[in-house]
Amino acid sequence: MISKVVDDKQVVEHVDDAQLHTDVNHLEEGHGKNKKTANNQLEEAAKILEQAGAGNASGRIEYTTDDGKRVLRMIDIYVCIPMCIVYCMQQLDKMTVSQAAVFDLEAEANLKGTEYSWLTSVVYVSQLICQPLSSYALVVFPVKYWVMFNYIAWSIVTIATSAATNFTGFVIARILLGAFEATILPSFVLITQMWWTRREQSYRTVAYQIANSVAAIFGPLLAFGVGHVKTGIKPYQGIFICMGAISLGFAPLVWYLLPNSPTTAKFLRKGDDRLIALDRLRENQTGTQSGKWKWNQVWETYRDPKTYMWSAMYLCTSTPSGGIGAFQGLIIKGFNFDSLTTTLMSMPLGAIGIITILIGIYFTNKYKVRWLVILIICFPPIAGAAAITQIDRDNTGGLAASFYIAYVLAGIQPLLYSWANLNAAGTTKRVVTFATMFVFQCAGNIIGPQVYFKREAPYYYTGLYVDIGCWSVLVILIVAMRFYLGHLNRKQASRRAAIGLPAELEDTSIMTTAEAKAYKVKLTESMKENGLDSAKLYENAFDDMTDFENPAFIYVL
């Protein structure tokens, strides 16, 4: 299929309308047996577009900017909204232990020593063990069914956790919770890359990360209400039942909305919507998704220095978030608040996370730079945590203010996800890269709670000092990554020049739609003047090539 701009319209040349839809429907029917057992999105996308371009001489269909916006709105409704729901519910279920701790979970379950810390750490040990299976499943199984299975399972586990009365029971429940939650973030990274252009991915990644912070607002509010229950069940049991039931209640809506891929989504059956959805993804140079596990991409992943740099960054950001996430209720309670007041004092944390993410993504997209924004966001947590260790313990207001400043940390991880997602291509490489980073993230979440020693309660100075150290190392890694990506872009420019393509290219996938359109027109005219074929820039877009293999790939700084 050939795309070009004519009179402010995106033109898609292909066979006549009736024949095109026959071809698309035939492809869907032909893959009907496969689509429930394996992911074939990349192959299906390529074949649909090949069929669409097979008869250019017989006619063409034009879609305007408004058509593209209409399809994007449908994608946001049917894909982004269920992702936000699932992510919000995951956070609600995950934070139940932190909320229950405020209502004397440790005393009620007779937890001793580091046993409470292990109730959080063991979730990530489980995720670490299950990650290889999850990564493989994302390549060979339809993503919708894999997500729904795990979502329903962890909701049931959360409800069942209310029956636990001792450390053993809680550990078993938390291991199961971690196993089922292990796939959600990797799945969402893959879904984001399947549906949105790189310019759009930042906002959608931020959308479901904001849903995480929404849970941080409503979780304490729900805990506050349940905490007033004095008969029948204990408050901590009510928290598990309430959170799990809410999560399970949203499952039918998520099932109805969430599709498997652009090639099979039912909401794209009208007109040329499916073609528009697929054509939008060409400029990403990352394809949609392949159902084949490619070992050469695995080896490339582990020869790529970026893999280890991203992993180190994830370790440095997840260690503080894991520790503070598990102990935030106990930290705030240690500022001289009672249990119910502590739950209310926790609510602003979600709002701080949302505001930080929104400000961060605004400046990221305004100035087309990610590393500097993330770097700046690292400094308030360092300052806030340092202040907590120095302020007098009788200064309740100062301690609370310092903790709120430190909680700007909530914006680091979502923006780091967004940055990392934009800088890898190839289905297997993307999955393995993120799986490796996720291993280090799990390691950080395991370590984080363990450095908050019960003997130091409610001060937890060791944990705070470790967190400060992690953020400081993260600052160094962010600067190093910026220079390395710049080096890779210079290498890519040399490769393009060697094969007859423009050496200097701008990444249209992170521009606004208007900016991208104007740049493409200018680039096409420039290439024609120099006898170059602009179609070559996108000829590998659906070939499942890695960022190292595809000279048209541009790294995002």
* Weakest-pLDDT range from 138-147, 342-351, 523-532: 523-532
Taking residues 454-459, report their average pLDDT: 87
Burial label for 137, CB within 10 Å (0-12, 13-18, 19+), is: buried
Does the structure show a pLDDT above 50 at 31? no
Can you give the CATH number for the domain in which 460 is found? 1.20.1250.20
Do 251 and 133 share a structural domain? yes
Distance CA 122, CA 100 (A): 17
Last residue of a domain, one of 31, 58, 85: 58
Q: HEC string of 441-468? A: HHHHHHHHHHCCCHHHCCCCHHHHHHHH
Do 126 and 234 share a structural domain? yes
The number of distinct structural domains making up the chain is: 2
Instruction: Render 178-219 in DSSP notation, one character per residue.
Output: HHHHTTHHHHHHHHHHHHS-HHHHHHHHHHHHHHHHHHHHHH
Do 18 and 145 share a structural domain? no
* Weakest-pLDDT range from 24-33, 100-109, 376-385, 489-498: 24-33
User: pLDDT tens-digit profile of 40-62?
Assistant: 555 565 555 555 554 443 334 46
Does the structure show a pLDDT above 80 at 210? yes
- Confidence category of residue 10, pLDDT binned at 50, 70, 90: very low
Residue 490: Cβ within 10 Å count: 10
Do 158 and 46 share a structural domain? no
Q: HEC string of 333-362? A: HCCCCCHHHHHHHHHHHHHHHHHHHHHHHH
Do 98 and 17 share a structural domain? no
Strand locations in 317-446 (E): none
User: In the prediction, which pLDDT does 538 show?
Assistant: 60
User: pLDDT tens-digit profile of 356-412?
Assistant: 988 998 898 788 889 999 999 999 999 999 999 999 988 999 999 999 999 999 889
User: pLDDT tens-digit profile of 245-294?
Assistant: 999 999 999 999 999 888 888 888 877 788 888 777 765 554 444 556 78
Q: Which two tokens stand for residue 370?
A: 């990610």
168 in a structural domain: yes
553 in a structural domain: no
Q: Tell me, what DSSP letter sits at residue 15?
A: S
User: pLDDT tens-digit profile of 466-492?
Assistant: 999 999 999 999 999 999 999 999 998
User: In the prediction, which pLDDT does 46 show?
Assistant: 54
Do 158 and 131 share a structural domain? yes
Distance CA 237, CA 243 (A): 10
- Confidence category of residue 17, pLDDT binned at 50, 70, 90: very low
Does the structure show a pLDDT above 50 at 202? yes
424 in a structural domain: yes
Do 97 and 8 share a structural domain? no
Quote the domain boundaries for residue 435: 68-258+280-289+297-488
- Confidence category of residue 448, pLDDT binned at 50, 70, 90: very high
Mean pLDDT, the chain, rounded, equals 81
User: In the prediction, which pLDDT does 37 show?
Assistant: 39
User: In the prediction, which pLDDT does 534 show?
Assistant: 60
User: In the prediction, which pLDDT does 7 show?
Assistant: 41
Distance CA 460, CA 389 (A): 9
Last residue of a domain, one of 453, 488, 523: 488
User: pLDDT tens-digit profile of 317-361?
Assistant: 999 998 898 888 888 888 888 888 888 888 898 899 899 988 998
For 157, residues 6+ apart whose C-beta sits below 8 A from its C-beta are 173, 176, 177, 180, 244
Closest CA to 505 of 521, 487, 525, 523: 523
User: In the prediction, which pLDDT does 510 show?
Assistant: 66
Do 35 and 123 share a structural domain? no
Do 179 and 46 share a structural domain? no
498 in a structural domain: no
User: In the prediction, which pLDDT does 186 show?
Assistant: 80
Q: Are 524 and 501 in contact (CB under 8 A)?
A: no
Last residue of a domain, one of 461, 488, 515: 488
Closest CA to 176 of 108, 244, 233: 244
User: In the prediction, which pLDDT does 257 show?
Assistant: 93
Between 158 and 32, the more confident residue is 158
118 in a structural domain: yes
Amino acid identity for residue 398 in this structure: G
Does the structure show a pLDDT above 60 at 39? no
Instruction: Render 29-80 in DSSP notation, one character per residue.
Output: HHTTTTTTTS--HHHHHHHHHHHHTTTGGG-EEEEEHHHHHHHHHHHIIIII
User: In the prediction, which pLDDT does 291 show?
Assistant: 53
Between 33 and 504, the more confident residue is 504
Taking residues 109-127, report their average pLDDT: 87
516 in a structural domain: no
Taking residues 414-422, report their average pLDDT: 83
Do 247 and 161 share a structural domain? yes
Do 223 and 170 share a structural domain? yes
169 in a structural domain: yes
Q: Which residues pair with 10 in a beta bridge?
A: 5, 63
Do 8 and 154 share a structural domain? no
207 in a structural domain: yes
